[in-house]
Every structure is written in structure tokens, then in C-alpha cells.
Amino acid sequence: MSRREVLGLVLVAAVILLGRWLRHRLLLGDDGGWRDPAWLASFLPPEPEPRAPRRRAPRRPSAPLDPNTCPADSLVLLPGIGPTIAGRMVAARARGVHFACARDLQAVRGIGPKLSAQIDPYLVYPQRDAD
């Protein structure tokens, strides 16, 4: 038998003996029966109380936005406006739609009277220069 094989056998024997010792010291009670699984809880730190998920406050624009010029990433700050509707607003501007009042916003698919009234306080409508 080579020296490497002997060392391997000694290592295996040591692991087996260590396992038996741990089983006897930690898992078996004084009477030789298995300990209650909850005994380990006394050694562990208490579990933290579950917290309710924190809702982030909705972001709002810091100043009124011009729906005719502001980019889509600013339009998504408006309540009820997501990336899809913001993209539709930008596409409508590209088609030549000019937003002069809250009612004009209803030309965009997905914006109805309720949503246009909801976002109207966050918008300004500069008048278009006469051509």
C-alpha cells in the first residue's frame, strides 16, 4: 500500500470518528434517543420579524411639463402614464398632433377623460406660434 493510500484511509477514518462524536454530542440526548429538533433554536439568533414590503412613493415631476416637447422618460413621471402611453404621446407629436389643452390628450390611445383630468395639473400648454 502506498503512502497516499494510507493517508487516505486515515483521513476517512478520522471523518467517520468525527461524525460519530458529533452525532453523540449534538444529536443524541442523555437517554441515547434523538434530541428534539427544536433544541438547536436555542443556539441560533432569533429570526427577524417579517416586514411589510415598502412601497416607494410615486415619483412626480418637479415642475409642470410641456407635453409637446418633453421626452418620454419625463412623461412616465405623470400619474397613470407608463412607458407605452408616453411612447404613444411622443409618436402623436411626431405625426403633428399639438396638445393645447387636456382634451387634446385624448387623441392618444389609452388616454381618456379621467386620465387627462388626472394629469392636467402636472402639464403646461404653451401656445403654438402662428405660422
The pTM score is: 0.55
CATH of the domain at 90: 1.10.150.320
The pLDDT of residue 32: 75
Confidence of residue 129 (pLDDT cuts 50, 70, 90): low
Domain-located, residue 129: no
DSSP 41-76: GGTSPPPPPPPPPPPPPPP--SS-B-TTTS-HHHHT
Share above pLDDT 70 across residues of the chain, in percent, rounded to a whole number: 95
Give pLDDT, residue 118: 92
Q: How many domains does the chain have?
A: 2
Closest CA to 102 of 131, 72, 73, 78: 78
pLDDT at 62: 79
> Of 10-14, 53-57, 67-71, 127-131, which range is least confident?
127-131
Specify whether 38 is located in the same domain as 77: no
29 — phi, psi (to 5°)?
-80, -175
Q: Give the pLDDT confidence score for residue 14 in this predicted structure.
A: 97
Contacts of 60 (CB under 8 A, 6+ apart): 77, 78, 79, 122
Whether residues 77 and 115 share a domain: the answer is yes
Average pLDDT, whole number, for the chain? 86
Summarize pLDDT for 3-22 with one digit per residue, the tens: 999 999 999 999 999 998 88
Q: Is residue 105 in a domain? A: yes
Mean pLDDT of 75-100: 92
Q: What is the pLDDT of residue 30?
A: 76
- Residues 6+ away with beta carbon under 8 Å from 110: 84, 85, 88
Residue 116 CA to residue 105 CA, distance in Å, equals: 6
Query: 10 lies in which domain range?
Result: 3-42
Best CA proximity match to 72, nearest among 92, 89, 48, 56 = 89
C-alpha–C-alpha distance, residues 125 and 68, integer Å: 8
Helices (H), the chain: 3-22, 72-75, 83-94, 113-119
In a domain, 51, yes or no: no
Q: Is residue 59 part of a domain?
A: no
